[in-house]
Amino acid sequence: MRFSTALLIPMISMSASTFANDYPTTERVQYVLNCMQDTGGQSMESLYTCTCRIDSIAEQMVFFDYETATTYERNRRMTGEKGGVVRDNKLAKEAFENLKKAEKVAIQACPTVVRVKNPLEEKQ
């Protein structure tokens, strides 16, 4: 089987960020819902903040590493042998640390949006 050079060149020239931002929609939605709960509930302000943050994280980490980190975070407190498998996983710990760094960058890049109300609107 021969590959056409015309098809290979565009694939080679695609940057890593093209693939890094390929998070499943369900994962993005789950992150945003959890983030909104942590940042004051369901409002347009927290929606903008949280979607910005997951986009920032997706630019910094490939999805496999994000998934590894969130799995580690969810299961690291599990007791017994099963928990040991998670806790002793060095790659998962590293992915988790990278996620924490990415979240710090995301928080800096996407501060919580605050809606400023016009005092004149409240009197009406």
What pLDDT does residue 36 have? 95
pTM score: 0.72
Give the span between the Cα atoms of 70 and 42, in whole angstroms. Answer: 22
Phi, psi of 118 (to 5 degrees): -80, 120
Cα 24 to Cα 2, 20, 89, distances in angstroms: 32, 11, 24
Write out the chain's pLDDT in tens, 124 residues.
Answer: 454 444 444 444 444 445 546 899 999 999 999 999 999 899 999 999 999 999 999 999 999 999 999 999 988 888 887 777 777 889 999 999 999 999 999 999 998 877 767 777 766 5
Q: Which ranges of 14-118 would DSSP assign to H, the alpha helix? A: 16-20, 25-38, 44-60, 63-75, 80-87, 90-109
What pLDDT does residue 117 have? 73
The domains of the chain are located at 21-110
